[in-house]
Amino acid sequence: MSVTQNSQTHPAQQSYDAVNPVTASLLQLRWADHLANVVSQLASPPVLAVATAGLCAAHSHEAGAWRWAAIHAGLTVAIPIIILVWLVARGTVSDLDVQHREQRVRPMLAALLGSAVSLALLSLGQAPQLLLSIGLATYLQLFLLFSITLRWKISVHTTAAASFTVLMCCLAGATALPLVGLILLVAWARMRLKRHSLAQAIAGALLGSLTMIIALTLGR
């Protein structure tokens, strides 16, 4: 006696098979968004600014390098962040990422003023040349970013990533070239999260690269 297998699929299984590709697609989208958010946080301008100051202090063997790095980071990162948190708490700014261009003016102005004070102190205090160059690069970047933001939204994330990459290439040579991928990754993350367009990401990367090259060249 032969047993004939039932070739029909259970309706619940058919429903699962129909929904499964859609579910998988949604999960993939959520994973990509999560990755983009992680990249944006880990490679945020404040994080890279602190890393830049620390690298310069570690690379410089002059006395007081770490003290000057702390002063620079405090004036250009810590104080502006405190002001930004205060603006968010007041409702003047919607979020810490400052998605709306019009809301970026006050936080950027605070960072610009902090960088101006930092540059003045680094110059008058005869800080190590590398840190002085970083102070100049920071001021140039923030001045240009502030000026551009008055009319157009430019990516500060790619500015910071490109600036950090150029500095690393100058300090470590060809071994740091793979860090160019950091710029591409950050640009992808900002576009993935719909924070910036391709043009805004490219403009930020160019600004960060050129200002860092100019500052390092003048510091030689």
Structure tokens at 34: 């999560």
Tens digit of pLDDT for each residue in 111-145?
A: 999 999 999 999 999 899 999 999 999 999 999 99
Q: Note the pLDDT tens digit of each residue in 149-174.
A: 999 999 999 999 999 999 999 999 98
Supply the pLDDT for residue 149. Answer: 95
Q: Report pLDDT for 16.
A: 42
> Do the domain assignments include residue 24?
no
pLDDT in tens, the chain (220 residues): 444 444 455 554 444 444 455 455 555 568 889 999 999 999 999 999 999 999 999 998 888 899 999 999 999 999 999 999 999 999 998 888 888 889 899 999 999 999 999 999 999 998 999 999 999 999 999 999 999 999 999 999 999 999 999 999 999 998 999 999 999 999 999 999 999 999 999 999 999 999 999 999 997 7
Model confidence, pTM: 0.85
Quick check: is 2 in a domain?
A: no
CA distance 160 to 55: 14
The structure tokens listed for 120 are: 């003045």
Residue 63's pLDDT is 83
Angle at CA 198, nearest 5°, toward 208 and 32?
A: 105
Residue 105 CB partners (closer than 8 Å, separation 6+): 146, 149, 150
Give 154's contacts (C-beta < 8 A, 6+ positions apart): 145, 148, 196, 200, 203, 204, 207
Distance of CA 202 to the CA centre of its chain: 13
Contact yes or no for 109/79 (Cβ under 8 A): no
Is 114 among the domain residues?
yes
Question: Does residue 17 form part of some domain?
Answer: no
- In eight-state DSSP terms, residue 100 is S
Q: What confidence score (pLDDT) does residue 220 get? A: 75
For 136, counting Cβ atoms within 10 Å of its Cβ (0-12 exposed, 13-18 middle, 19+ buried), the class is buried
Answer whether residue 151 is part of any domain.
yes
Q: How much of the chain is in helix, strand and coil states, percent to nearest 5?
A: 80, 0, 20
Kindly state the tokens that stand for 85.
């948190």
- Maximum C-alpha span of the chain: 100
- Find the domain containing 134 and state its range: 44-218
Q: Is residue 89 part of a domain?
A: yes
How many whole angstroms separate alpha carbon 122 and alpha carbon 132? 6
Asked if residue 38 is part of any domain, the answer here is no
Asked, for residue 155, whether it belongs to a domain, the answer is: yes
State how many domains the chain has: 1
Separation between Cα atoms, residue 203 and residue 155, nearest integer Å? 7
Residue 130 CB burial class (10 angstroms; 0-12, 13-18, ≥19): buried
